[in-house]
């Protein structure tokens, strides 16, 4: 944590621009929709929630009050199955689009058929969000996982909430449930805190306008 502490201290005194965004933190899945499940039975939705709550805690330390799409292990809405899933996603979009100056931060975990692949991967929606995604990716590489050579990319156009959200945002795929090393790390409190801090520190730099191309006026 020493290096993370140094990173925190390196954050310039934060003068929030008038147009600062409200981060909307989306813990993916929840309730009947667990998302990906590891072969050992670890469910994505719980990890997403835990990292989302830790990210919100870290942001509050810096005076930023995020909107949390969910704070418990539940879906948004009733029932189960396809119609409930679609109602859940629509409700998430409503929350995002009804938040003034929203900036979406969606937390998920990856899953892949080949267990060799691992490492956090950060995606962005909108060129405005690209410097933030790249900063989170770089901080994760520097502070958590020097072997992570992933490069931030645009969120796939098929991802519903990003397609429907009227704001920019980032999608943090924090690791692969199909990779033994990631799975072990993702279950650790310390690792979850580091992920939350990496997201928060980069977000603070983004909002303070110190990332190239950041959307200070947006
Ligand atoms: Zn997911």
User: Domains plus CATH for the chain?
Assistant: 21-207 (3.40.630.40)
**What does the chain come to in residues?**
218
Beta-strand relationship, 22-27 and 67-68: parallel
Largest CA distance in the chain: 47
Q: What is the pLDDT of residue 210?
A: 86
How confident is the model over 147-189, as pLDDT tens digits? 999 999 999 999 999 999 999 999 999 999 999 999 999 999 9
Short-list 100, 125, 134, 144, CA closest to 203: 134
What pLDDT is recorded for position 20?
85
The Å distance, Cα 88 to ligand 1 centre, comes to 13
Whole-number pLDDT of residue 81: 83
> How far does residue 2's CA lie from ligand 1's centre (Å)?
31
In angstroms, how far is CA 41 from the centroid of its own chain?
A: 22
Q: Which residues pair with 102 in a beta bridge?
A: 22
pLDDT at 68: 98
Helix (H, G, I), strand (E, B) or coil at 64: coil
pLDDT (0 to 100) of residue 14: 53
Rounded distance from Cα 146 to ligand 1 centre (Å): 24
Alpha carbon distance 49, 51 (integer Å): 6
State which residues of the chain have pLDDT below 70: 1-19, 212-218
Å from CA of 7 to ligand 1 middle: 29
């Amino acid at each position: 944590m020493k290096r993370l502490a140094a990173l925190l201290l390196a954050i310039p005194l934060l003068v929030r621009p008038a147009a600062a965004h409200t981060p909307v933190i989306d813990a993916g899945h929840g309730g009947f929709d667990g998302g990906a499940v590891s072969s050992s039975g670890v469910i994505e939705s719980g990890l997403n929630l835990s990292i989302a709550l830790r990210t919100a805690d870290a942001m509050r330390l810096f005076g930023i009050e995020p909107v949390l799409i969910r704070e418990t292990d539940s879906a948004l809405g009733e029932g189960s199955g396809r119609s409930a899933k679609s109602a859940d996603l629509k409700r998430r979009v409503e929350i995002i689009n009804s938040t003034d100056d929203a900036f979406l931060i969606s937390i998920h975990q990856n899953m892949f058929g080949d267990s060799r692949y691992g490492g956090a991967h950060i995606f962005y929606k909108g060129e405005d969000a690209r410097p933030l995604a790249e900063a989170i990716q770089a901080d994760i590489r520097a502070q958590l996982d020097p072997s992570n050579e992933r490069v931030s990319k645009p969120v796939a156009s098929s991802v519903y909430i990003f397609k429907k959200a009227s704001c920019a945002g980032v999608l943090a795929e924090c690791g692969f449930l199909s990779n033994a090393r990631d799975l072990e790390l993702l279950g650790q409190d310390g690792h979850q805190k580091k992920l939350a801090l990496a997201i928060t520190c980069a977000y603070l730099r983004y909002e303070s306008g110190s990332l190239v191309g950041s959307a200070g006026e947006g």
